[in-house]
Amino acid sequence: MSSVFARDYAAELPMVDHASGVYIHGADGRAYLDGMGSAGVIGIGHGRTEIYDALASQGSKVSYVYTASFNHPWQESLGRSILSVAPEGMSAVYFVSGGSEANETALKLARQYHVERGQPQRHRMLARWQSYHGVTIATLSLSGRTSWRAPYDPYLLPVLHVAPPYEYRCSYCRDSGGCTMDCVDELERTILLAGPETISCFFAETIVGTTASGLVPKPEYYRRVREICDRYGILFIADEVLMGYGRTGRPFAIDDWGVLPDMITCGKAIGSGYAPLGAVLVNEKVTSVFREGRKRFVHGFTYSGHALSCFVGQQVFDIMQREDLFSRPGVMGAYLHGRLNDLQQRHALIGDVRGRGLYAGVEFVADRGSREPFAPERNFTGRLVAMMRDRGVIVGGGVPGANFGRGGDHIQITPPYIVSEAEIDVIVDALDDVLTLLS
Ligand code: PLP
């Protein structure tokens, strides 16, 4: 019988029976090591029974209230918890159901902020090529992966895109022996050409994830971005749906740059897969305009601040605090990156290893000297991901048509924060084995 689940008619996906720790167990009895943390979602690990115990004992108090009519304690407590680990200066949190909703919400907050301040002409959005911000029309418009935009192109909103900090393939600096920051100059040039007074916000993944597998900008990058945005009255929004909430070994990835964005968007790890949850953290500069102005954000989903999702989010936060999971990815990430760097010495197919903490990106090349990518017809990433899966290890990548073009072929390794060294060895050894066969 064919599946009623209609996401992909080309692939027959394994049926899951249960998941526990870093493993997903199929109905056919096979175990898969979740080396992609189920799309970077799982922080605290699968099957944490304390979440279900807490739901049974207190979760039944209230499952849902409409947050335009009632506040509830779980939204308040989770908001305060998140702000306690957020960069100083963040003062409000809007809860939603996922990353795309968080980014949509941030976009609208930015727009209303300018309207409230008497600058309705600020309507243009700035983002970067090779970025990913979500699947809704506005967040896809921000996203800079051409192959994902193409089918919907006529629907998309006009967004100004600038070059990402992709040192390995950057047309400004790849042959200059290091980043020259020309991409930040391009940001300022674009603002000046478009008219600074027309621009609302600059949207950037603090570390680019899915679409380029781990672009980590130089230490000065966000300081320069912040200065430029401030100079022209533009809001800087850091998308940390994938990289925030512990993934890099800090509560938020931007912590490593010491810069305060106007908003930080979150998703994935804040619910750790136990509930759909996303959030927008807003700094005091923006919050104060709403508090003192019309006092109302003209926006809200039916499920904004969903009570059970916030309750689960609080349990996730408590586990993260108790088990040091906001910092553990830094320690385990050093081990993962060390092993991948060693692998790069032995496999000429590996062009670049990048990322931070328990986010590792590996880019593959046909020729390491010239950095020539594989021809798309070779479906290198797709084959590699399938061979890894045959060995019981799941890594991110291999979406048809997704990894080609300027970025070449690459995978993401984003295991749950509780992963052990032995489990990292299983992932890297499988990759070693597969690369030997593909060479
Ligand atoms: N932003 C980034 C950086 C992401 O990686 C993702 C999802 O992968 C999103 C936004 C969209 O989040 P969601 O799939 O929860 O809507």
Give the whole-angstrom CA distance, residue 17 versus residue 370.
Answer: 45
Give the atom of ligand 1 at the shortest distance from the alpha carbon of 101.
16
Q: How far, in Å, is the centroid of ligand 1 from the Cα of 57?
A: 32
pTM of the predicted protein model:
0.97
Probe target for ligand 1 pocket from 133, 213, 359, with the most ligand atoms within 8 Å of CB: 133
Residue with CA closest to ligand 1 atom 15:
99
Query: What residues are paired with 266 via a beta bridge?
Result: 279
User: What's the burial of 1, exposed, middle or buried (CB within 10 Å: 0-12/13-18/19+)?
Assistant: exposed
Probe target for ligand 1 pocket from 36, 148, 242, with the most ligand atoms within 8 Å of CB: 242
Average pLDDT of the segment spanning 53-78: 93
Is the backbone of residue 295 left (phi > 0), alpha (psi -120 to 50) or beta? left
Which pLDDT tens digit goes with each residue over 161-203?
Answer: 999 999 998 889 888 888 899 999 999 999 999 999 999 999 9
- Is the model's pLDDT at 403 over the cut of 60? no
Average pLDDT of the segment spanning 49-66: 92
Which pLDDT tens digit goes with each residue over 225-248?
Answer: 999 999 999 999 999 999 999 999
How far from 64 is each of 73, 76, 313, 314, CA to CA, in Å?
12, 14, 14, 16
- Is the model's pLDDT at 1 over the cut of 80? no
Find the helix or strand (DSSP H, E) in which 188 lies. Answer: helix 182-194
Q: How far, in Å, is the centroid of ligand 1 from the Cα of 59?
A: 27
In 10 A of CB 379, how many CB atoms?
Answer: 18
List, chain by chain if needed, residues with CB within 6 Å of any ligand 1 atom: 98-100, 103, 132-134, 205, 209-210, 239, 241-242, 267
Residue with CA closest to ligand 1 atom 8:
242
